[in-house]
């Protein structure tokens, strides 16, 4: 007879989304019902919208939806395009593929700029593709800033530079769902026309709220867009007091968001990004150490593209990532991310974004190493020491 092991203590949640919710955000979310037109709520609401604009680094309109990141993906597409429009999606991995599939579902022509999932897209190829499109058939370039499935960042500044260098008028749509609040993002400076974001990753909230920033150029495209839309339609939203949300506003999430924005700004966005960079580097040093004895290795082969919010760890041939993940969860109460689509069973992912510090990272890495041992996966032992050395050095300044 097998008995289920009871695991005490806090679960170490090392998923790249959802992420840990800070205690003060949890308390803020536990708010009694309030009329969403109550002046007390409107003050909170307007403050949160202003805070989100500071985090997106934009002065443009933002539109919010009761729905996860997928709702904001859909809003970005249906609000600016018409049937048959062509988009160029820069391949990054699972999430770029799924955004492209969604575009196809809406009758859009989703062209892909192909890329190696371990090395990332080539900006020279992007420039060449845009330069070759002399008829300007491509209405938009779509980019995923942080590919959560592979642990790689795509430079939005370089994507913008490719559009500028070729004088191509395409809109720039950017998915910041797993980067906003963890990696630097500058909507206006980088000329992003639609920025797509969600609540449950770097913003440290429960799932269920997503939003898009929209530039004046995106609003102009919206005025002539003919894809069917209603609940997500920006011009419908603009007629309402909240300039967002058709229907009931999820008030409790706004109390949470008010607190998470306060936390991010109290620490300072640049300090938040530096903390993510530091913890990410500790994870990478540990994984590099493990790889020494034919062990698991970094999936990302291009150090210029390392993501500071998630690391995908590639298993040695013949070993199942899911087995390691199950041991970590069921024996040690550490929750890791699984491999997505074609990376299923091949990688596990360590999420290191949001409400996270050194002991949580060190505990997670030590436990993953214990799980590798239990699973009989070869590795160079003592990877956590490489992380300890790096974090100690960083703290000595
Ligand atoms: C999580 C994620 C999504 C999907 O968001 P949901 O909130 O799960 O709908 C899209 N893109 C990226 C890069 C993500 O990390």
Residue 118 lies in a domain: yes
Helix axes of 269-290 and 358-375: crossing angle, nearest 10 degrees: 20
Q: How far is C-alpha 320 from the geometric centre of its chain's CA atoms?
A: 25
pLDDT digits (tens, 9 = 90+) for 250-289: 999 999 999 999 999 999 999 999 999 999 999 999 999 9
Residue 155 lies in a domain: yes
Query: Is there an atom of ligand 1 within 6 Å of 354 CB?
Result: no
pLDDT digits (tens, 9 = 90+) for 363-384: 999 999 999 999 999 999 999 9
DSSP line for 7-44: --S--EEE-SSS-PPPHHHHHHH------TTSHHHHHH
Report CA Rg, the chain: 21
Report CA(177)–ligand 1 centroid distance (Å): 6
pLDDT digits (tens, 9 = 90+) for 34-75: 999 999 999 999 999 999 999 999 999 999 999 999 999 999
Residue 193 lies in a domain: yes
Residue 1 lies in a domain: no
Report CA(388)–ligand 1 centroid distance (Å): 31
Considering the domain architecture, whether residues 353 and 247 belong to the same structural domain is answered as no
Residue 12 lies in a domain: no
CA-wise closest residue to 63 among 262, 242, 205: 242
**pLDDT band, residue 5 (cuts 50/70/90):** confident
Does the CA dihedral 171-174-175-176 come out positive or negative? negative
Is residue 3 over pLDDT 80?
no
Considering the domain architecture, whether residues 144 and 176 belong to the same structural domain is answered as yes
Considering the domain architecture, whether residues 237 and 290 belong to the same structural domain is answered as no
Q: Whose CA is nearest to atom 6 of ligand 1?
A: 69
Q: Which residues contact 197 (CB under 8 A, 6 or more apart)?
A: 52, 56, 69, 72, 176, 177, 180, 203, 210, 211, 212, 213
Is residue 4 over pLDDT 80?
no
Residue 29 lies in a domain: yes
Range of the domain at 229: 23-265
Query: Is there an atom of ligand 1 within 6 Å of 310 CB?
Result: no
CA dihedral 272→275→279→280, nearest 10 degrees, is 60
Considering the domain architecture, whether residues 249 and 343 belong to the same structural domain is answered as no
* pTM given for the model: 0.97
Q: Which segment of 6-10, 102-106, 249-253 scores lowest on mean pLDDT?
A: 6-10
Considering the domain architecture, whether residues 105 and 202 belong to the same structural domain is answered as yes
Query: Is there an atom of ligand 1 within 6 Å of 311 CB?
Result: no
Q: Decide which of 201, 232, 265 is a domain's last residue.
A: 265
Considering the domain architecture, whether residues 245 and 312 belong to the same structural domain is answered as no
Q: What is the pLDDT averaged over residues 157-174? A: 98
Query: Is there an atom of ligand 1 within 6 Å of 202 CB?
Result: no
Considering the domain architecture, whether residues 299 and 210 belong to the same structural domain is answered as no
**pLDDT band, residue 7 (cuts 50/70/90):** confident
Total domains, the chain: 2
Query: Is there an atom of ligand 1 within 6 Å of 177 CB?
Result: yes
Query: Is there an atom of ligand 1 within 6 Å of 70 CB?
Result: yes
Which of 16, 18, 69, when mutated, tests ligand 1's pocket best, judged by the most ligand atoms within 8 Å of its CB? 69
Look at residue 2 in the predicted model and tell me its pLDDT: 57
Look at residue 258 in the predicted model and tell me its pLDDT: 98
Is residue 232 over pLDDT 70?
yes
Report CA(382)–ligand 1 centroid distance (Å): 33
Query: Is there an atom of ligand 1 within 6 Å of 15 CB?
Result: no
Considering the domain architecture, whether residues 277 and 258 belong to the same structural domain is answered as no
Is residue 1 over pLDDT 60?
no
Considering the domain architecture, whether residues 218 and 115 belong to the same structural domain is answered as yes
Report CA(354)–ligand 1 centroid distance (Å): 15
Report CA(151)–ligand 1 centroid distance (Å): 13
Look at residue 188 in the predicted model and tell me its pLDDT: 98
Ligand 1 atom with minimal separation from the 144 CA: 13
Q: Whose CA is nearest to atom 4 of ligand 1?
A: 69
pLDDT digits (tens, 9 = 90+) for 107-150: 999 999 999 999 999 999 999 999 999 999 999 999 999 999 99
Q: What is the pLDDT averaged over residues 222-248? A: 97
Q: Which segment of 3-17, 178-192, 262-276, 328-342 scores lowest on mean pLDDT?
A: 3-17
Considering the domain architecture, whether residues 214 and 172 belong to the same structural domain is answered as yes
Whichever domain contains 47, its CATH number is 3.40.640.10
Burial call 87-108: b when 16+ CB within 10 Å, e when fewer: bbbbbbbbbbbbbbebbeebeb
Q: Decide which of 240, 265, 290 is a domain's last residue.
A: 265
Considering the domain architecture, whether residues 254 and 285 belong to the same structural domain is answered as no
Residue 14 lies in a domain: no
Peptide bond into 18 cis (omega under 30): yes
The residue assigned the tokens 């959560």 is: 148
Considering the domain architecture, whether residues 114 and 225 belong to the same structural domain is answered as yes
Whichever domain contains 313, its CATH number is 3.90.1150.10
Query: Is there an atom of ligand 1 within 6 Å of 339 CB?
Result: no
Listed in order, strand segments (DSSP E) in 57-159 are 61-66, 86-90, 109-113, 138-144, 146-147, 152-153
Is residue 337 over pLDDT 60?
yes
Q: Provide the CB-side half-sphere exposure for 201 (13 A, CA).
A: 27
Residue 16 lies in a domain: no
Look at residue 397 in the predicted model and tell me its pLDDT: 76
Is residue 17 over pLDDT 90?
yes
Average pLDDT, the chain: 97
Is residue 32 over pLDDT 90?
yes
d(CA 261, CA 202): 11
Q: Decide which of 231, 265, 299 is a domain's last residue.
A: 265
Query: Is there an atom of ligand 1 within 6 Å of 17 CB?
Result: yes
Local structure of 334: helix, strand or coil: strand
* For the chain, percent of residues with pLDDT exceeding 90: 98
């Amino acid at each position: 007879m097998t008995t289920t092991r009871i695991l005490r203590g806090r679960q170490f949640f090392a998923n790249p989304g959802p992420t840990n919710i800070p205690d003060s955000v949890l308390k803020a979310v536990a708010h009694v019902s309030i009329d969403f037109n109550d002046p007390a709520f409107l003050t909170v609401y307007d403050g949160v919208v202003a805070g989100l604009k500071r985090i997106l680094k934009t002065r443009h309109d933002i539109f919010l939806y009761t729905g996860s990141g997928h709702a904001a993906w859909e809003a970005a597409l249906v609000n600016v395009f018409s049937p048959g429009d062509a988009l160029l999606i820069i391949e990054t991995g699972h999430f770029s593929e799924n955004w492209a599939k969604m575009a196809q579902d809406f009758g859009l022509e989703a062209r892909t700029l192909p890329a190696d999932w371990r090395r990332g897209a080539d900006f020279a190829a992007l420039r060449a593709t845009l330069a070759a499109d002399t008829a300007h058939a491509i209405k938009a370039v779509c980019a995923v800033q942080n590919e959560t499935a592979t642990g790689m960042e795509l430079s939005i500044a370089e994507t913008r530079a490719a559009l500028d260098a070729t004088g191509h008028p395409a809109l720039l749509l950017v998915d910041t769902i797993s980067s906003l609040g963890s990696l630097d993002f500058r909507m206006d400076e980088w000329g992003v026309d639609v920025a797509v974001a969600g609540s449950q990753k770097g913003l440290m909230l429960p799932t269920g709220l997503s939003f898009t920033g929209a530039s004046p150029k995106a609003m102009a495209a919206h005025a002539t867009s003919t894809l069917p839309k209603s609940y997500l339609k920006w011009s419908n939203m603009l007629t309402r007091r909240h300039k967002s949300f058709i229907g009931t506003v999820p008030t409790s999430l706004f109390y949470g968001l008010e607190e998470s924005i306060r936390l991010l700004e109290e620490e300072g966005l640049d300090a938040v990004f530096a903390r993510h960079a530091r913890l990410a580097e500790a994870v990478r040093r540990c994984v590099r150490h493990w790889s020494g004895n034919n062990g698991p290795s970094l999936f990302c082969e291009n150090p210029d593209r390392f993501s500071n919010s998630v690391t995908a760890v590639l298993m040695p041939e013949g070993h199942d990532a899911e087995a390691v993940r199950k041991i970590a969860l069921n024996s040690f109460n550490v929750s890791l991310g699984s491999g997505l689509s074609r990376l299923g069973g091949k990688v596990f992912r360590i999420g290191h974004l949001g409400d996270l510090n050194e002991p949580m990272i060190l505990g997670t890495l030590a436990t993953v190493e214990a799980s590798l041992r239990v699973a009989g996966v070869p590795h160079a032992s003592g990877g956590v020491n490489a992380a300890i050395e790096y974090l100690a050095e960083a703290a000595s300044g």
